[in-house]
Amino acid sequence: MKITKLALHHLSMPLVSPFETSFGRAEERESIIIEASAEGISGLGECVADRDPGYAYETSGTAWLILQEFIAPLIFSAEISSPQDIPELLSPIRGHPMAKAGLEMALWDLTGKMEGVSLQAMLGGKRKTVPVGVSVGLQSCPEELVEVVNAYLADGYQRIKIKIKPGRDVGDTVAVRLAYTDILLQVDANSSYTLDSAQSLLPLDDMDLLLIEQPLAEDDLWDHRTLQSSLKTPLCLDESIVSLRHARQALEMTACRIVNIKAGRVGGLTNAVKIHNLCISKGIPVWCGGMLETGVGRAANLALASLPGFTLPGDISASNRYYRQDITNEIFALNPDSSITVPEGAGLGVSINRDALDKNCIRKVILTAEDYICE
């Protein structure tokens, strides 16, 4: 197929409540919605890069530039036979996996709509529903954290993840575990520790946690290996796994025992599936992380998480966890068993609520192939 038009919508979505991690506090979530058109059909994608370079070096601003100046010319000049062509097609652009992933997602949606096939079927997923949990940001004190966790348990979430950072780790975790002795519980440090300061996490080994997520630096595999050797609780890597190569190296050196797969972080769904397959071959469980996506990215996450290797509940959560009004007409709700139903429609299986999209759009550009023709 030949892509003839790309529409980029830069969104700023107000959150239901502030979300605080070790690298900052957010009251709004930025992203870029991408519409790719060919043969009169449009596909939707979401670039999950946020405003600030806290979680990753990419931002909504850098992604906006990369999409217009570097990705669009390559896309318009290519004859694309499959979304799986995208990683190789965009390989001349070093880095910027979130920008690439957003574009690739749009082409998966476009292909599915053209062929009348769901994204789940194209990726090889099987389950009609996927188990999910909720990610709870830092609160003012352990007592407030317990109250927030209680509210999410009342909503029906059966797996809780709490954010931690130095000085707000063991005390918070103990408070939640003492209040709820039987829940599935895990913690996420978002790279906020050094190997030395991570020694404060050793008491978490007695908390019966599912995992400790990304305690050390995002570019550090070796020290994660050292820390894992001193813990019985599995370490899970998130920010450190930016490619299939990094996943292979992490598993070879036993830097972790679990992998969090985020399509945006690894450059798209094609790469995410490859990492999933590698982990299955090594007997390593995986789960699907979240980036506070709109319904567009949430639909893609659900399709991905329906693959067989995703045996731990994902950070996908219901639409109303983050947004009072999402930008898709389809709203994802939590099932009684703490799962969410995977869309069955062609492509992503979602459509855009144009009024909501326009309400939250802070800038928009429409690009066509003619814009990039050099005379």
Neighbours of 28 (CB within 10 A): 15
Q: Which of 262, 274, 282, 359 is catalytic?
A: 262
5 part of the active site: no
Distance between CA atoms of residues 291 and 312, nearest Å: 17
3-state secondary structure of 67: helix
| DSSP helix/strand/coil, 21 | strand
- Provide the terminal-to-terminal Cα distance of the chain, rounded to the nearest Å: 24
Under 8 Å between Cβ of 348 and 330: no
Q: Which two tokens stand for residue 269?
A: 């769904």
CA gap 302, 130 in Å, rounded: 7
Quick one: CA dihedral 292, 298, 301, 305, positive or negative? Answer: positive
Nearest-CA neighbor of 349 among 163, 119, 156?
119
Structure tokens at 229: 């050797």
Report the alpha-carbon distance of residue 118 to residue 125 in Å, rounded.
10
Distances in Å between the Cα of 92 and the Cα atoms of 73, 96, 98, 166 are 12, 11, 15, 39
Q: Give the largest Cα separation in the chain, rounded.
A: 70
Query: Residue 126 catalytic?
Result: no
Q: Please tell me the distance from the alpha carbon of residue 357 to that of residue 335, in angstroms, as a whole number.
A: 26
Q: Say if CB 176 and CB 162 are below 8 A apart.
A: yes
| Catalytic residue selected from 100, 113, 163, 165 | 163
In order, the DSSP letters of 277-298 are HHHHHTT--EEE------HHHH
Residue position matching structure tokens 């979401």: 46
The set of catalytic residues is: 163, 262
